[in-house]
A and B are shown apart, each in its own frame.
Chain A
Amino acid sequence: MSTVIKVRDLGKKYKICDNHMQYKNFTDLAAQIAAMPYNYIRRMMNGESAPPKEKTFWAIKDINFDLEQGDILGVVGRNGSGKSTLLKIISRVAEPTCGRIEVVGRIGSLLGVGTGFHPELTGRENIILNGIVLGMSRSEIRSKFDEIVDFSGVEEFIEMPVKNYSSGMFMRLAFSVAAHLEPEVLIVDEVLAVGDANFQKKCLDKMRSYHEAGHTILFVSHDLYSVRALTEKALLLNHGEQMAFSDTESIAQLYMEKYANIPPGAPAPEPEPEAALEPEANEEPEPPAEIPSETNCGFKVKNFRVEPFESKTFHAGGKLRFSFEYEFDREIDNFKIAFAVNTTDQYNSCGLLADSNELGLAKLPPAGKVACVSDNLYFTEGNCIVQLAVLENDVPVFLNKEIANIYNKRHPELIFSPRDWFDYCVKGTWKVKH
């Protein structure tokens, strides 16, 4: 297998503007130059020897990896970890500050769908234009034209200006052109984030067929499910640094361990190149941060943990153990504690409920620890969102709809059913008569 992409010591640095350092137009630049003698004298008087250094920010640093032909790499990390910067550099849109990349073959990038589309031109004209912009030759477009139109499903409207298309039609057409691009190395940046579930499925299928044809793909996505479904290797970035590069399973584990049990209230630093940086914010998110609640009753929850019970990983058929410490200003009469384990944030999939009878307690004491072990759960593979609610007389005193996330893996014995078929899948006893 030949190495198709070699990345060595790659880094990109941006300058950060302090208010008095950055100039964005000529008048500021002229003022800055005019003020130089004044600033020099001022520094002399204060005893500083040199002008303050410009603050810099490394969007990515020391990235090293190799990809063989036919690999699919998933690039994961939180917002601001440098994923898009890495893709921009490999696509040659931005230039690295240091390091070196070698790529064999044509590079095609999908950093956004519909690049180059102009609303005044017709669908046909836009297909040709977009194709050329993406790197196809005219003859290639001509030969694939019918396929492209067919794939997109906008055949009757192909001679109309694109501004008259609905957003759905526009997306389908734009993606259809991009889908017929066949470079040796394909770079995809969160294109799946746009579009409905059907569209996303089409995208994934198309990428799978690229993989089978032997192309190499670099894929950035926030959706851990599609990364796990599609990729074999993954790269985890954290604030621009390469945390890990190995197979997707271990990276997904690492990602969930690192980020899964964090309450959404914890500060997630999002450094942008043009923003002023605070001095060295410690990025390690520690659990002691107070967990927010949608209610404002003063019911405090700390150290919320959800972990698989009696097994190392949470998979379909496994049990979960929930635990947390709480503190309140009074006892609660007629209380209920509820956990929900959901597959989406649209509706509650599964709940665990306890009240005073269940727990054998007349009133909930003002402070204490709660633990709960569930029965066997049979979710399909994907992320599960955990909710917690504590109720007094059926009115919530604590409510957090996304207190933790935990990733549920496939059960080795159950037949694989994807999350978009069922959320919950159990074994049954089957018989066929003939």
Chain B
Amino acid sequence: MSLAEKKTRTTVIEPSRKLRFLNFKELNDYWELLLYLTIRDIKVKYKQTIFGLLWVVFQPILLMLIFSLVIASVPNIQQAITCPYKLFAFVGLIPWQLFAKIIESTSNCLVAEAGLVNKIYFPRILMPASACLSALFDFFIGCIILALMLLYYRQAPSWTIVFLPLFVILMTISAMGIGFWLSALNTEYRDVRCLVPFLMQFWFFASPVFYPSSIIPEQYRLIIALNPMSGVIEGIRWTLFSYGSAPGWEFYVSLSVSFVTFITGIYWFRWREKSFADHLGN
């Protein structure tokens, strides 16, 4: 929209009654704000640190080392995987970190930026969106380290790596869906924020991050499939090593769950949006 148009456009403010989806025209106007909010998040995270961006990979590397000491020697696991355990674990940990980071940062983003939300108008969905983008930035740093590890272990990724971006997108969508629900709920019920770390820990063990899902007994496979992350993590491992079979029915179940959460998450967020300023106080 040109400046002249903006100067003469009429804005109508009235109570909204219908369920709304995203207003793409408006989001287009606010893309600069999204960009700068993300840049701010990233800059602030690393401004006063010594190791700077290396902090991003510190946690997964540490976890990988611990798991390789403890878990790698379990006989079932050794048989089920074809590559060195350290690599296996790292490949699971980096995507998991993206998922967990998106959920943790989006669930609290509105409350943390209450000052902004209470004083300025902008499409509120920009807040979880910028939290997600800044987590994606960290993920790309992690991917670089992952590439270096692949080099080190002389594991050339197979042709299936073309599917990797698809899985990353899927993972982002499922995390965002959950993030929308949680951020909206958190403004009204502040203990949501306390539940999140516990939820993430539980979820971590319920997902095949540091173990292959093939060691899960048959009767529990469906439950594991409902977890969107199981399909994604196994899928990412498949794209990099071509190990295991191509994603089967479990994957499609995960896919549908993710999409449903994402779409309903947006509707819920947009519905509760009207009362954010009321709940976030002054």
Interface residues, chain A, with chain B CB atoms under 8 Å away: 14, 23-27, 29, 88-107, 109, 111-112, 115-116, 118, 120-121, 125, 128-129, 132-135, 137-138, 161, 184, 273
Identify whether the interface residues of B are mostly helix, strand, loop, or mixed.
Answer: helix
User: In chain B between 1 and 59, which residues have their CB closer than 8 angstroms to a CB of chain A?
Assistant: 6-16, 32-33, 36, 40, 43-44, 47-48
Contact B119 A105 (CB under 8 A): no
User: In chain B between 72 and 123, which residues have their CB closer than 8 angstroms to a CB of chain A?
Assistant: 115-122
In whole angstroms, how far apart are the Cα atoms of A107 and B9 in the complex? 11
Contact A107 B11 (CB under 8 A): yes
Is the CB of B252 closer than 8 A to any CB of chain A? no
When distances are taken between beta carbons in the complex, the residues of chain B under 8 Å from A29 are 189
When distances are taken between beta carbons in the complex, the residues of chain B under 8 Å from A116 are 115-116, 120
Interface residues, chain B, with chain A CB atoms under 8 Å away: 6-16, 32-33, 36, 40, 43-44, 47-48, 115-122, 188-192, 195, 274-275, 277-278
When A and B form their complex, what is the total count of cross-chain residue pairs whose Cβ atoms lie within 8 Å? 115
Min CB distance A96 to B, Å, is 6
In whole angstroms, how far apart are the Cα atoms of A121 and B195 in the complex? 31
When distances are taken between beta carbons in the complex, the residues of chain B under 8 Å from A106 are 6-7, 9
Given A89-B13, A107-B11, are A121 and B118 also a contact pair (CB < 8 Å)?
no
In whole angstroms, how far apart are the Cα atoms of A102 and B274 in the complex? 18
Contact A97 B6 (CB under 8 A): no
Contact A24 B10 (CB under 8 A): no
In whole angstroms, how far apart are the Cα atoms of A121 and B36 in the complex? 12
Contact B36 A95 (CB under 8 A): no
Closest to B46 in A: A120
When distances are taken between beta carbons in the complex, the residues of chain B under 8 Å from A273 are 278
Contact A121 B7 (CB under 8 A): no
Min CB distance B36 to A, Å, is 5
Given A25-B191, A93-B121, are A115 and B116 also a contact pair (CB < 8 Å)?
yes
Closest to A113 in B: B119
Closest to B10 in A: A104
Closest to A135 in B: B120
Kindly list the 9 A-B residue pairs having the minimum CB-CB distance in the complex, ordered from nearest.
A25-B191, A92-B121, A95-B274, A101-B13, A111-B119, A100-B14, A94-B277, A115-B119, A93-B277
When distances are taken between beta carbons in the complex, the residues of chain B under 8 Å from A112 are 115, 119
Min CB distance A161 to B, Å, is 8
Given A25-B191, A29-B189, A96-B15, are A109 and B9 also a contact pair (CB < 8 Å)?
no
